[in-house]
């Protein structure tokens, strides 16, 4: 790496600002950064998905605040050496951990443009606001939701879900809520399945309803919300003087990708006078694909949470909340102080000020990465990704079903496969330990990243294929490695348990990262 160009450094005292003294030197660095990042993406498949961080790299982040300039070249060289090689790995074709997309190159260029012009998307009269408004309409159309809905881009679906429930609470309690807070002596309930995302508990806590307000209703054999149990829970709460407020239906649960019966939940909410909220973080865009019938009823939701950095592949982070009735959305958040007063002309004009629809006043230009993605690729390309990854999940499930050492633990929901390594003679607790250790070894090998969860009391290995770069042979490679590591852990377990005086264990020692 070349030494820093002193002529490109800002003045140490900042008296001339932070721009480079030599724009040509900075231009050369910028071109090198872009070239390096393109090479990174082009060659990513040939690298480990994830690397364990060496101790010296970890310790390098313990240093004090730098007070003097090192130069942009030096700063970038440290990023190239200490950050990029040890990132999460979700830009790799074999990353299927938790649930997130891989990003896409056009979105990365959009982020560069957005950070350079650096607009504040709180409001005012400038074109980036129109970009976000168009993205809101495009996403509503893609999801099959009314394009007249109010919408706000946020950091992710967790935030979008909280905004949706905040509107539900305000709509139910009216203007007095904002003035006086929750009424004394009244308790409310929000209903979701036992598979509902943990963000809904956080929402209930932060909205003053309390964690106990979230009623987690049992699921059926397919891990979908049990409608009979939901009706019983609502009736029991009303009998106890607790006021049902909203139902959260999942269009793709976090563990298995199961989609609740949205049409039936919509009917129930209509009969019972409840707010109908759909958590569509995972499957909210199925309406674009050949599987649109799976989410029939989503269009009837009072509010809908979506995630653009999952199946829609936008760079992290960007989520979207849609609210059917704009007045209810605006009434929940609108505060217009004198310093943000709107005007009929000048920069303070503008039809929509997003500050009135959420908490943030300063908002980044997230919309551009979505807008450029739709313009560059077309919505049908994202539909094709959804269809392909869904097919890959079903193919993987078939391989699991045919393998004598593997067990599938749930139906394939959206693009998530839950499986488990099995071996004769080991009880569930021992197999839990085997599967957990095998997952870690797969991660440490650099072959793939999958994660584990718990389904019906046992450890399940969760493969979430929300990755546009994944090929069928990537999944074959993972499955072979997982079975191999499972066999190794079982063999080590047998050795330990048959050693004289050894205490039984199902674990084993993890191999060193390759």
Got the DSSP string for 137-193?
HHHHHHHT--TTSEEEEESSHHHHHHHHHHHHHHHHH-THHHHH-SPTT--EEEEEE
Q: List all residues 6 or more positions away from 507 whose beta carbon is below 8 Å from its beta carbon.
A: 433, 437, 489, 493
CATH 3.90.1150.170 domain locations along the chain = 381-498
Residue with tokens 């909280």: 162
Tell me what pLDDT residue 493 has: 85
Domain 381-498 falls in which CATH fold?
A: 3.90.1150
Return the structure tokens found at 219.
Answer: 């699921």
Return the SS3 of 409.
coil
Residue 295 · residue 262 · CB < 8 Å = yes
Residue 350 gets the label, from left (phi > 0), alpha (psi -120 to 50) or beta, of left
Tell me what pLDDT residue 1 has: 44
Return the structure tokens found at 287.
Answer: 């309406």
Tell me what pLDDT residue 449 has: 98
Domain 109-377 is in which class? alpha beta
- Cα 9 versus chain centre, distance: 38
Tell me what pLDDT residue 498 has: 63
Q: List all residues 6 or more positions away from 312 whose beta carbon is below 8 Å from its beta carbon.
A: 101, 285, 370, 373, 382
Tell me what pLDDT residue 514 has: 29
Tell me what pLDDT residue 8 has: 46
Tell me what pLDDT residue 7 has: 45
Distance CA 162, CA 157 (A): 8
Distance CA 165, CA 187 (A): 15
Tell me what pLDDT residue 16 has: 77
pLDDT tens across the length of the chain (514 residues) = 444 454 444 443 456 789 999 999 999 999 999 999 999 999 999 999 999 999 999 999 999 999 999 999 999 999 999 999 999 999 999 999 999 999 999 999 999 999 999 999 999 999 999 999 999 999 999 999 999 999 999 999 999 999 999 999 999 999 999 999 999 999 999 999 999 999 999 999 999 999 999 999 999 999 999 999 999 999 999 999 999 999 999 999 999 999 999 999 999 999 999 999 999 999 999 999 999 999 999 999 999 999 999 999 999 999 999 999 999 999 999 999 999 999 999 999 998 999 999 999 999 999 999 999 999 999 999 999 999 999 999 999 999 999 999 999 999 999 999 999 999 999 999 999 999 999 999 999 999 999 999 999 999 999 999 999 999 999 999 999 999 999 999 999 888 766 655 444 444 333 333 2
Radius of gyration of the chain (CA): 25
CATH 3.40.640.10 domain locations along the chain = 109-377
DSSP state letter for 247: E
Tell me what pLDDT residue 496 has: 72
Distance CA 349, CA 341 (A): 9
Sign of CA dihedral 63, 65, 66, 72: positive
- Whole-prediction pTM: 0.93
Residue 354 · residue 121 · CB < 8 Å = yes
Got the DSSP string for 450-468?
-EEEEETTEEEEEEE---T
Strands 406-408 and 319-323: unpaired
Return the structure tokens found at 481.
Answer: 């490695």
């Amino acid at each position: 790496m070349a030494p820093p160009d002193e002529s490109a450094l800002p003045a140490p005292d900042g008296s001339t600002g932070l721009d480079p003294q030599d724009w040509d030197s900075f231009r050369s660095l910028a071109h090198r950064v872009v070239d390096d990042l393109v090479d990174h993406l082009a060659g990513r498949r040939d690298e480990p998905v994830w690397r364990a961080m060496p101790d010296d790299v970890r310790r390098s982040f313990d240093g004090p605040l730098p007070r003097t300039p090192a130069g942009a070249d030096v700063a970038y060289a440290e990023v190239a050496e200490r950050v990029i090689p040890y990132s999460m790995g979700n830009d790799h074709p074999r990353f299927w951990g938790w649930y997130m997309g891989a990003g896409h190159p056009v979105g990365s260029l959009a982020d560069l443009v957005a950070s350079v012009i650096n607009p504040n998307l709180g409001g005012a009269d400038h074109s980036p606001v129109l970009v976000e408004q168009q993205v809101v309409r495009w996403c509503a159309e893609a999801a099959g939701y009314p394009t007249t809905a109010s919408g706000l881009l946020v950091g992710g679906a967790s935030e979008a879900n909280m905004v949706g429930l905040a509107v539900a609470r305000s709509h139910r309690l009216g203007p007095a809520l904002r003035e006086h807070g929750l009424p004394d002596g009244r308790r409310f309930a929000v209903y979701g399945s036992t598979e509902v995302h943990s963000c809904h508990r956080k929402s209930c806590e932060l909205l003053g309803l309390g964690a106990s307000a979230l009623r987690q209703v049992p699921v059926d054999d397919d891990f979908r919300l049990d409608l009979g149990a939901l009706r019983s829970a609502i009736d029991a709460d009303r009998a106890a003087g607790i006021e049902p407020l909203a139902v959260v239906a999942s269009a793709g649960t976090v563990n298995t990708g199961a989609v609740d019966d949205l049409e039936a939940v919509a009917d129930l909410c209509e009969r019972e006078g409840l707010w109908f909220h759909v958590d569509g973080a995972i499957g909210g865009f199925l309406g674009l694909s050949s599987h649109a019938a799976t989410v029939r009823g989503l269009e009837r939701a009072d509010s809908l949470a979506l995630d653009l950095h999952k199946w829609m592949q936008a760079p992290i982070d960007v989520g979207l909340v849609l609210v059917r009735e704009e007045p209810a959305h605006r009434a929940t958040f609108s505060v217009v102080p004198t310093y943000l007063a709107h005007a009929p002309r000048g920069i303070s004009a503008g039809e929509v000020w997003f500050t009135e629809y959420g908490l943030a006043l300063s908002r980044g230009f997230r919309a551009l990465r979505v807008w450029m993605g739709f313009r560059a690729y077309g919505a049908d390309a994202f539909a094709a990704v959804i269809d392909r990854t869904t097919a890959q999940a079903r193919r993987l499930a078939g391989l699991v079903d045919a393998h004598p050492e593997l067990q599938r633990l749930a139906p394939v929901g959206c693009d998530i496969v839950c499986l488990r390594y099995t071996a004769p003679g080991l009880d569930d607790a021992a197999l839990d330990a085997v599967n957990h250790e095998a997952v870690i070894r797969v991660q440490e090998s650099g072959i793939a990243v999958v994660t584990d969860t718990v389904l019906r009391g046992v450890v399940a290995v969760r493969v979430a294929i929300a990755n546009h770069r994944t090929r069928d042979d990537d999944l074959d490679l993972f499955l072979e490695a997982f079975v191999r590591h499972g066999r190794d852990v079982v063999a080590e377990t047998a050795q330990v348990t048959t050693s004289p005086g050894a205490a039984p264990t199902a674990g084993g020692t993890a191999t060193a990262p390759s």
